[in-house]
Amino acid sequence: MVSRFYVTTPIYYVNAEPHLGHAYTTIVGDALTRWHRLLGDDVLYLTGTDEHGLKIRQAADAAGLSPKEFCDSIAPKFADAWERLDIANDDFIRTTEPRHHAAVTELLQRCYDAGDIELDTYSGKYCVACEEYYTDEELLEGDNCPIHKRPVDHFEEENYFFRLSRFQDRLLDWYAAHPGAIVPEFRGNEALGLIRGGLRDFSVSRTSLDWGIRLPWDDRHVAYVWFDALTNYLSATGFGDPSVDYTERWPVDYHLIGKDIIRHHCVYWPAMLMSAGVDLPKGWAVGGWLLVDGEKMAKSTGNVVNPLDLVDTVGVDGFRYYVLAETSYGSDGDFSYDGLVARYNSDLANNLGNLASRVATVVGKSCGGIGPAPRDDSPLAAAAATAVADTSAAWDAVTPSRALEATWSLIRATNAFLEANEPWKMTPGADLDAVMGDALEALRIVTLLAWPAVPSTADAIWARLGLDGSVADRRLPGDARWGGYPGGLTVTKGDPLFPRIRS
Ligand SMILES: [Zn+2]
């Protein structure tokens, strides 16, 4: 039976263009889902854009456009950026789509019918940029927003509230029964801490807002951010469409999120689903921030890095590799241009690129350009088996940096094997063929394991080894077993895969 694997990124708010932070999470999701594609899983990888709310209305007004026109001008920039970064998402959802409208309406109605959404009056201090009310203790001197450091507004309005306060015990019981649902574990502990700290009801509607989805039972109110945004993960499964069985795709295997949205994804969202009688997600994988000069990248701090500018320097795969390998997923990473170039030169130019080039050069010179078959009892076979097992375990645990470390251990072992045997000094014959057959086979396995991170490079090496088709058509673990390189294939050298960059 084919197993299904469903992964989501947060939907990105279209008040700004795609930046490094967006790219980071989206590349992690892409590599993770590519790994599962190699396993033969039926993958659904979802990303998209969040297009409702006051900030969009304001940005549209400033641009002299209607909100929908404004969203239509920004959403394609995300879709284009992901295409340029080789993101193989299966679906791209926009919260202005009818299917999303249907899902939000259905979820709201279910929670309302369950008695967990009730009308109340809200008055408080509200930051428009955060779309959050703040308590006096949370505000800075002079009633300034702690994030934006500018004055908040006093709002008073009739709101519907979701009774989150009723869900504390149920959430704690659920998480106790599902240990490891949130990875890494320390991020799971943060979520539990938020729940144990006490839960406040949260507002799910606004009357002051017109750019959004109206509540099905009271059209004076428009759904406020959380019921609108979070529900996208269900919309893509067909939830709310009576002709579709959404449980064919739901529950999701992993929501990939940043650490700043743990409260909404790991506390609000499961409570909303419980209320609505919908199964909870199987997992959440929480990433840290990629900091630039020690600060979170944000429009307001002026340190926004456009990922597409970096691609011009290190290539798409160089950039993908860096963001996956440099930072342990879950922890904060510090992005720097020097770090990007250093990692490119060491891991890609000197290790992977050099291995591919050496192997092709020696086969070209001393084997007539025809790759020999590997030995069954090769000294590299054990290193290959370990790399396959460790890479696999690391992807299972959603730890891309460890997966790549495991894959690169086979590259290092193969380079060391070549340095020990010095095939470039050997005379053509059986001994040389044995060494080169082993190296070709190790490189073939590396190519399979590295494909999720560096897909176009992997496909290029695959073709240079003389192998048919694309890596995408291979299946693990079977195709990564030692001995798969048949020998007798034409090996080509080609241009350097990763020309060194002078730093
Ligand atoms: Zn704020």
Q: Is 127 a catalytic residue?
A: yes
Q: For the segment 418-431, what is each residue's pLDDT rounded down to a tens digit?
A: 999 999 999 999 99
Q: Is 149 a catalytic residue?
A: no
Q: How far is the CA of 333 from the centre of ligand 1 (A)?
A: 24
Tokens of 239: 């939830």
- The residue annotated as part of the active site, out of 145, 255, 266, 367, is 145
Q: For the segment 298-355, what is each residue's pLDDT rounded down to a tens digit?
A: 666 676 778 778 898 899 999 999 999 999 999 999 888 889 999 999 999 999 999 9
Domains of the chain: 343-490 (1.10.730.10)
Counting residues of the chain whose pLDDT is more than 70, the rounded percentage is 98
CA–CA distance, 333 with 323 (Å, rounded to integer): 9
Nearest one of 46, 54, 73 to 225, comparing CA atoms: 54
- The residue annotated as part of the active site, out of 22, 55, 255, 265, is 22
Q: How far is the CA of 134 from the centre of ligand 1 (A)?
A: 9
Q: Is 282 a catalytic residue?
A: no
Single pTM value for the model: 0.94
- The residue annotated as part of the active site, out of 68, 149, 154, 299, is 299
CA–CA distance, 269 with 278 (Å, rounded to integer): 11
Q: For the segment 379-398, what is each residue's pLDDT rounded down to a tens digit?
A: 999 999 999 999 999 999 99
Check if the beta carbon of residue 260 is closer than 8 Å to that of residue 157: no
- The residue annotated as part of the active site, out of 77, 130, 282, 493, is 130
Check if the beta carbon of residue 233 is closer than 8 Å to that of residue 255: yes
CA–CA distance, 235 with 224 (Å, rounded to integer): 17
Q: How far is the CA of 58 from the centre of ligand 1 (A)?
A: 15
Residue 495 burial (CB < 10 Å; 0-12/13-18/19+)? exposed
Please say if the pLDDT value at position 128 is more than 70. yes
Handedness of CA 362, 366, 367, 372 (dihedral sign): negative
